[in-house]
Structure 1
Amino acid sequence: MAEIIAKIGKEKYETTLTAGKHKIIADEPLTVGKDKGPTPYDLLLMALGSCVAMTLRMYADRKKWDLQEVQVVLNQNRAHAKDCGDCESKEGFVHTIKKEIKLVGNLDDTQRLRLIEISDRCPVNKTLLGEIKITTTELT
């Protein structure tokens, strides 16, 4: 996996992201930035959506199922933990990601149900639901 580099200058809040030979721009909406690219949360949801779609494609191909297309629609919201009745966290924010999947193809109900189950097994989905530790050091 390529090392990811995020670089920002004085231009609010345009950030160049580099992954190997690939570059994209991240930014904030016009309310605070210049809307030159997706926001950091948009990029997070894009990572999840692409992983889910690829995982379903791989699984259907391996099973030789007639999956013609996958569309993954994602939304993210956050709420105060104290306002969430069924959440483990009681402080800070609880983030909720809504994932809707459209499966196009000649699939029976059992295949559709299995693909929906498999969608939770993509590596990014599992990472987001697992314990994450981030270490921070200063580059010299």
Structure 2
Amino acid sequence: MEVKVHRGEGKLQHVIEIGPHRLLTDAPAAYGGEASGPEPHDLLAASLAACTALTVTMYARRKNMDLRDIDVRVEHRQQDGVFVLERHIAYVGDLSEDDRRRLNEIADKCPVHKTLSGQIRIVSRAD
């Protein structure tokens, strides 16, 4: 999958193209943007939240758990020189404590969580 980003219509707005999908990203007004879309760190947090919800839902279905809904909220901030992603997960359904504990373990195995927790290499090339 290739992700493309190009200039949008606003002062700092950019259009993100992911296959057939298009999203906007921008900076808050305090940084010279127009807040016409989420800023990049918000998109990173959204990726973790979405991956968590999808991974846990697929697992619960495979195991016939009574997970009727899942709400994932990710807060992010810089703290003591470290970028912190704080994930809050609320499970809706008739689940035992063992089920909830197992779903928390599965949440930690979602692909985005594993990517962010592992080693990342970014290679930049000027075209």
State the TM bucket, normalised to the shorter chain. over 0.9
In 1: Cα distance, 2:68 partner to 2:78 partner: 34
Matched, 1:107 2:95: yes
* Identity within the alignment, %: 37
* Preserved CA contact (<8 Å) 2:8 2:15: no
In 2: Cα distance, 1:57 partner to 1:31 partner: 38
In 2: Cα distance, 1:5 partner to 1:60 partner: 34
Displacement of 1:10: 7.5
Q: CA RMSD in A?
A: 1.2
Matched, 1:129 2:127: no
Aligned to 1:86: none
Q: Secondary structure, in 3 states, of the residue corresponding to 1:31? A: helix
- Where structure 1 has 5 or more consecutive residues not aligned to the other structure, the ranges are 81-92
* Preserved CA contact (<8 Å) 2:76 2:85: yes
Task: Give the alignment's TM-score, normalised by structure 1.
Answer: 0.86
Match of residue 119, structure 1, among 107, 113, 118: 107
Aligned to 1:59: 59
Displacement of 1:79: 2.4
Aligned to 2:72: 72
- Where structure 2 has 5 or more consecutive residues not aligned to the other structure, the ranges are none
The aligned amino acid for 1:51 is C
Match of residue 98, structure 1, among 76, 81, 86: 86
Q: How many residues align?
A: 126
